[in-house]
Amino acid sequence: MEDLDTQRCVAGSEQSIIEDLQWLGLDWDGEVVRQSDRVHLYDRALETLRAGGHLYPCTCSRKELAEVASAPHANLNPGNSAEGERGPYPGTCRDRFPDREAATRATGRAASWRFRVQPGGCGFRDHICGRYQEDVSATVGDFPISSKDGGAAYQLAVVVDDADQGIDHVLRGDDLLSSTVRQIHLQRALGLPSPAWFHVPMVVDPKGTRLAKRHDSLSLIGLRKAGWAAPDVVAWVAHSAGLKGGPRSTAYDWLEGFCVENLPAGTVTYP
């Protein structure tokens, strides 16, 4: 459970996720693992990166960075949107402070850690989308890997989680395709292996808008209330993933014909 961002964690969401999975007939290995119980692993990784010279403290606010991005000469590449920033980070705090404490004393602000990105392309083969390459220094710049209180943020936490749990295949939505290059930078800096990557297309509505929380009627709980049966939901997902055939009882009944190479490369439209 990714529960480090306490401001975005909604009370009861964990139980709702578990109930949705159980309704679909899906299970998992072992006990539920929560990022909030693994902070010591992220702190250790932060210290490794800091000791290796890969990090520096940053006190820039999102408002300041938005003003830089809106300037007439700004590069408006949206590659840093996963961190809530628009355009590449301009390097304002790079080599400005020796540590977070000094940054706070000098500015009166809390400081996050940013990862130093070296110029040059970084690429990987995605088993669905094909070859992908990006120069993160140009599109994103040095990116934050901690919150202002020094705790690990998403990009670092998932890298540590995957390595610690021996994950060798990552399958997720293609909205995270650009995040992968950032995670590869972190894996290399930490001396960790990179898994095989599989980025599946997003599900969109007939207007091409990505399904999200605003489509509450299409949430699993919404479908249940509307009278959908779990096998019907699973069957729709199976067909959208390239599987053929009539109704089947459970997700496991569909596994025999599943082949990752048959997953669609384009967006999937619902209904």
pLDDT tens-digit series, residues 77-125: 555 555 666 789 999 999 999 999 999 999 999 999 999 999 999 999 9
Asked if residue 16 belongs to a domain, the reply is no
Angstrom distance (rounded) from CA 187 to CA 195: 10
What does DSSP assign to residue 10? Answer: P
The terminus-to-terminus CA distance of the chain in angstroms comes to 29
Q: Are residues 258 and 150 in the same domain?
A: no
Q: Are residues 118 and 225 in the same domain?
A: no
116: nearest Cα among 152, 89, 80, 79: 89
Point out the residues of the chain with pLDDT beneath 70: 69-85, 213-215, 217
Q: Are residues 133 and 244 in the same domain?
A: no
pLDDT of residue 72: 53
Tokens of 61: 């606010």
Angstrom distance (rounded) from CA 220 to CA 19: 10
Tokens of 249: 């009882």
The order of strands in the sheet holding 169-173 is 130-134, 122-126, 196-200, 169-173
Q: Are residues 102 and 58 in the same domain?
A: yes
Angstrom distance (rounded) from CA 242 to CA 245: 10
Instruction: Determine if the pTM surpasses 0.85.
Output: yes
pLDDT of residue 217: 66
Q: Are residues 46 and 135 in the same domain?
A: yes
Q: Are residues 186 and 250 in the same domain?
A: no
Q: Are residues 70 and 112 in the same domain?
A: yes
Q: Are residues 92 and 224 in the same domain?
A: no
pLDDT tens-digit series, residues 249-259: 888 899 888 88
Asked if residue 12 belongs to a domain, the reply is no
CATH number where 113 lies? 3.40.50.620
Q: Are residues 129 and 231 in the same domain?
A: no
Question: In terms of residue numbers, what domain contains 235?
Answer: 204-269
Tokens of 170: 């990552």
Asked if residue 23 belongs to a domain, the reply is no
Q: If you search the block for the tokens 């070859």, which residue do you land on?
A: 131
Asked if residue 2 belongs to a domain, the reply is no
Residues 6+ apart with CB under 8 A from 258: 241, 243
Q: Are residues 64 and 188 in the same domain?
A: yes
pLDDT of residue 100: 95
Q: Are residues 52 and 125 in the same domain?
A: yes
Q: Are residues 59 and 158 in the same domain?
A: yes
Angstrom distance (rounded) from CA 183 to CA 112: 18
95 phi/psi in degrees, rounded to 5: 65, 20
* The total number of structural domains that make up the chain: 2
